[in-house]
């Protein structure tokens, strides 16, 4: 007989940005580190990389918590088919932003929801097109010193001062650029049996 209580929810991510986004759904959840190697495979396209890593993160946490509903997510900045990851340093962030200035970058944000106990598994991808302004070196330096977005794919945080770097954002899931597409996530959580508005 199925339980009337919803399964526990786990976010398979150590990202503070994803945690803050998931809190918007007002569901109780815990966080678990997925411990997944994020190295791209040779020739792997950015959307394929994002999908593979999101699913790997969800599956890794679900293997340790088989009764939980687990969310895994990954974001890859896609510059003309080349994956740009988290810069990690000021120098790499400077180089990324110089390469992106005046260009359109697609932020590929994948989300997976997995529950081993019920056999549930879904995966989706939100592609956010972001057009960067023709930034000067001085603007890039000012921005990086002010916000230090070294843990963000593509070296920019649109939810902060990074919005001043941009000419346009085109997306059907507005939180995808921050790191977790909540419209898609909510859809999958409902399909996994977690009520959101009850």
CA distance 92 to 57: 25
Q: Is 137 a catalytic residue?
A: no
Name the strand (E) or helix (H) holding 64. Answer: helix 46-64
- Marked catalytic residue, from 74, 78, 124, 173: 74
Exposure string over 165-188, b if 16+ CB within 10 A, otherwise e? bbeeeebebebbbbbbbbbbbbbb
Secondary structure in 3-state letters for 160-198: CHHHHHEEEEECCCHHHHCCCCHHHHHHHHHHCCCCCCC
3-state secondary structure of 79: strand
Positions annotated as catalytic residues are 74
């Amino acid at each position: 007989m199925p339980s009337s209580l919803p399964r526990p929810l786990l976010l398979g991510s150590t990202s503070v940005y994803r945690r803050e986004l998931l809190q918007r759904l007002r569901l109780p959840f815990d966080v678990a580190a997925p411990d997944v190697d994020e190295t791209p495979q040779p020739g792997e396209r950015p959307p394929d990389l994002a999908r593979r890593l999101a699913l790997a993160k969800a599956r890794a946490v679900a293997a340790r918590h088989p009764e939980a509903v687990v969310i895994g997510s990954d974001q890859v900045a896609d510059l003309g088919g080349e994956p740009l990851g988290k810069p990690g340093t000021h120098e790499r962030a400077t180089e990324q932003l110089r390469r992106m200035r005046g260009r359109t970058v697609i932020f590929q944000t994948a989300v997976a929801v997995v529950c081993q106990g019920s056999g549930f598994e879904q995966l989706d991808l939100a592609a956010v097109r972001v057009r960067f302004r023709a930034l000067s070196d001085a603007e890039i330096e000012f921005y990086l010193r002010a916000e230090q977005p070294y843990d963000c794919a593509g070296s920019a945080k649109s939810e902060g001062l990074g919005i001043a770097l941009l000419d346009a954002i085109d997306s059907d899931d507005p939180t995808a650029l921050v790191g977790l597409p909540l419209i898609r996530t909510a859809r999958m959580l409902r399909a996994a049996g977690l009520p959101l508005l009850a």
